[in-house]
Amino acid sequence: MELEAKLHDIKKPIMVLGTCSGAGKSLTVTAICRILKNLGEEPIPFKGQNMSNNAWVDWDGGEMAYSQALQAFACGINPCAEMNPILLKPQGNSLSEVIHLGKSIGITTAKNYYQDWFIPGWKVIKKSLKSIYERNPNCRLIIEGAGSPVEMNLIHRDLTNLRIAKYLNANCILVTDIERGGVFAQIIGTLELMKPDEKKLIKGIIVNKFRGDLSLFEEGKKWIESKTQIPVIGIIPWLNDSFPPEDSLDLIEKKSRFSNPEIKVGIIKLPSISNFSDFDPLENEETILIEWIRESQNLNKFDFIVLPGSKQTIKDQIFLEECGLSQDIKNYSNNKGNIIGICGGFQMLGTSLEDPFLKEGSVSYSEQKIKGIGLLPIRTTFFENKLTRQINSESLWPCHSKINGFEIHNGQTELEYTQTLVNIKPLFKDLNLGWYRENKEGGTIAGTYIHGIFENDNWRDQYINLIRKSKNLPTLNKKSIPYKKKRESIIDNLANEFDKHLNITSVLN
């Protein structure tokens, strides 16, 4: 039976729409998921289409946006690509990789996307919804929109907002960001651009990111309710959260919350950075200060630096070379520096990058094979098929420990046997997952394909203690709080704050 025939039997879905990008839809959905879980419900997150290079791999090897994975954690369930059936991964030059139900199925230009991918996109969204409800008939979907639901030049081809709301007859919440200013215009303008059958789906309004005394907005609340005839169900205060930003541009604004760090970490802000949620566990270490590096500089002030993942490894390596950071990284290594590369960053640490199928950002023949930074004797070739899988392995350095994480990459990396293999050793029992070497003068260079490596508490603690020892700092012997417990605590705190200021029960029926 088609889902349409069953819609009157399902629990009323809740959909969170925003007056703009960055209004707080993702965190609102995360909070509602945990609130409803605590009420004994069976919430499941859903976002029909997301555009992000911050990805997660589910247990079947399917790619999905990390924000929906985080929302699944808030529900107490395993993330699944059906929760985000369409993922667009930007590649620059108005190109995006198209992922349906976790699998890469093509590349599109922004101009051609709605012409070529709208019909198959809507089909895969309906297929995912049907599958979720068949497996979880008692669930309540908590759906996240994208951007604004009333982009008038695109609304007839919008796969993420009002089309889904109307299809499921969802109770919609409109979230607005008072921090940006013009909150009344945001709300009224958005509602005025909706058709009557769309506007009637809006059951509540949330004013998000309010600074100061909430009572000062009481007159504003009354005005909004009088003008719209829609209740303001929440005025949410500004929260000092430590969740990953949706957009890598927001990383520039992300600052450490700790004032007396003992270790300073530099992370290279690559133009095509991906999977920046890899660094959330470091953000939550009280002894660590993170600084994002965007231009050539002396790196010696950092205790270790990280080269993150990249959606366009060739382009990003060319960027490092042209801006001088590639030489800065080599100088840093020669000065007893400690370096970790993850996925694309790992590949860049090698001697060469070869892209025969133009998968990783090369745009001409001259860019199909370029030199890497050259700190590890490895070479990488990018093939047509992408490897995506969950990882269970065991580390060999800096400690023997069970390791979990996931892989997302096209490249295949192997040792460069034409070079002298100076102290190069495997990082893990699975030799394909990474290598490291210790410099004779001091310092280490390590690279791995494992996203989420810092979520492994024992591994992270031992690596940090290695850095502390090099600085003559005392070893941290106390057992640290596991990162996943910290993440649960952060989600709980988020949900508790929303619960204090949000009347969610008013939109459940």
pLDDT at 478: 67
Least confident span in 100-109, 198-207, 240-249: 240-249
C-alpha closest to that of 161 among 212, 112, 210, 195: 195
How sure is the predictor about 256, in pLDDT bands with cuts at 50, 70 and 90?
low
Q: Is 410 helix (H, G, I), strand (E, B) or coil?
A: strand
Confirm whether 9-242+490-507 and 263-472 share one CATH topology. yes
Mean pLDDT along residues 249-278: 79
> pLDDT at position 440, please?
83
pTM given for the model = 0.93
Task: Give mean pLDDT, residues 273-278.
Answer: 94
Q: What Å distances lie between residue 223 and 182, 188, 207, 226, CA to CA?
A: 14, 11, 13, 5
Altogether, the residues listed in the chain come to a count of 509
252 pLDDT higher than 60: no
Q: What is the pLDDT of residue 390?
A: 97
Q: What is the mean predicted confidence (pLDDT) over 163-173?
A: 98
Q: What is the pLDDT of residues 27-72, one digit of tens each?
A: 999 999 999 999 999 999 999 999 999 999 999 999 999 999 999 9
**Residues 367-391: tens digit of each pLDDT:** 789 999 999 999 999 998 999 999 9
Closest to 187 in 3D by CA, of 237, 216, 221: 221
What fold is seen in the domain 9-242+490-507? Rossmann fold (3.40.50)
**Helix or strand (DSSP H, E) at 75:** helix 66-75
- Residues 257 and 32: their CA atoms lie apart, in Å, by 25
The pLDDT assigned to 245 comes to 58
Query: Kind of pairing, strands 304-307 and 263-268?
Result: parallel
How much is the pLDDT for 311?
93
Give me the pLDDT at residue 373, please: 98
Q: What is the mean pLDDT of residues 141-163?
A: 94
How large is the average pLDDT for residues 276-286? 91
Residue 141 scores a pLDDT above 80: yes
269's torsion region: left (phi>0), alpha (psi -120 to 50) or beta? beta
The whole-number average pLDDT for the span 94-101 is: 95
pLDDT digits 0-9 by tens, 306-361: 999 999 999 999 999 999 999 999 999 999 999 999 999 999 999 999 999 888 87
Q: Where are the domains of the chain?
A: 9-242+490-507, 263-472
DSSP string, 153-174: TTGGG-SSSHHHHHHHTPEEEE
Per-residue pLDDT tens digits for 427-459: 999 999 999 999 888 999 999 999 999 999 999
State the virtual CA torsion across 314, 317, 321, 323 in degrees, nearest 10: 110
* pLDDT over threshold 70, residue 254: no
pLDDT given at position 137: 96
Q: Which residues contact 167 (CB under 8 A, 6 or more apart)?
A: 126, 129
pLDDT of residue 249: 46
**Residue 309 confidence (pLDDT):** 97
pLDDT at 262: 94
For the cut 50, the answer to whether the pLDDT of residue 251 exceeds it is: no
Q: Which residues are catalytic?
A: 343, 451
Q: Which residue has the tokens 């620059």?
A: 92
Residue carrying the six token digits 């009344």: 184
Kindly report the average pLDDT of the chain as a whole number: 92
Q: State the Cα–Cα distance between residues 337 and 335, nearest whole angstrom.
A: 6
Question: How many C-beta neighbours within 10 Å does residue 224 have?
Answer: 21
CATH fold of 263-472 reads Rossmann fold (3.40.50)
Res. 480: pLDDT tops 90: no
Confirm if 370 and 361 have CB atoms less than 8 A apart.
no
